[in-house]
Amino acid sequence: MKIIISFLNDFLSLIYPRLCMACGKSLLNHEHNICTFCQYHLPRTNFHHEKENPISKLFWGKIMIETAASYFYFQKKGKVQRLMHQLKYKGQKEVGIYIGQLYGKELNTSKLYNTVEYIIPVPLHPNKEKKRGYNQSEMFAHGLAESMNITVDTSTLIRITATETQTKKSRFNRWENVKEVFKINNSEHLKNKHVLLVDDVITTGSTIESCVLKLQQIEGIRISVVSIAFAYN
């Protein structure tokens, strides 16, 4: 039976090749979404072991968070950008889940994240989520939750206003674009809890700031932040 299954898998791979989402090369049978070479060579930040790191410093003097980190550095025309493009625009939601599973295992080794009780993805506006078919940050959150054995909360933080893309905006315009687009709903269960707010890419941090300002209305809440990638200058 195993021989038959292996034969079928090999046959299907000829018709529908399984490709690495980072480099585009064919995956081996034991590989999923990202090839072994890319997994070892993607530009990791390792910021989850440092409370004071370049990402957490983005928010100093603006919002109160425990700490912040990203899995990878984002570089234009690099493999991480290809990963993000596959996740956001090519319908490859499974790559977000897979990255979350990998990063969740690493966060489990950090004392900065071992008290997290809920994971909250930055929400998309319902119209945008319907058009895309899913929220890429939520896919990442589900992968994290699986590895960290934590509940994903998608009902408390709500996006109430659709916004334009942030890609080509200045920091000030990014902030203006998102400062009043979120609201809090049914938050009693988050009182005095440590939550992990997650996004796909952190650039200026404006979206995260807007989310945290809303979440801080919840009594006793503690907020940490992670993302898949950090787009540094």
Under 8 Å CB-to-CB from 103, ≥6 apart: which residues? Answer: 71, 143, 144, 147, 226, 228
Task: Sort 196 into a burial class: Cβ within 10 Å, 0-12 / 13-18 / 19+.
Answer: buried
The residue among 68, 36, 33 whose CA lies nearest residue 211 is 68
pLDDT, tens digit (0-9, with 9 covering 90-100), for 156-178: 999 998 776 555 555 555 545 56
Written as six digits, the tokens of 147 are 């590895």
- The reported pLDDT for the residue numbered 175 is 46
pLDDT, tens digit (0-9, with 9 covering 90-100), for 48-103: 999 999 999 999 999 999 999 999 999 999 999 999 999 999 999 999 999 999 99
Please tell me whether residue 130 adopts helix, strand or coil conformation: helix
Q: Say if residue 221's pLDDT is above 80.
A: yes
Q: Say if residue 191's pLDDT is above 50.
A: yes
The per-residue pLDDT of the chain, averaged, comes to 90
- The reported pLDDT for the residue numbered 56 is 96
- The reported pLDDT for the residue numbered 180 is 75
What domains are there in the chain, each with its CATH number?
Answer: 1-41 (no CATH), 42-230 (3.40.50.2020)
Q: Give the integer Cα–Cα distance in Å for 27 and 24.
A: 9
- The reported pLDDT for the residue numbered 12 is 47
Average pLDDT over residues 121-130: 94
18 in Cβ contact with 26 (< 8 Å): yes
- The reported pLDDT for the residue numbered 177 is 55
Longest dimension (CA), the chain: 61
State CA 228 to chain mean position distance: 4
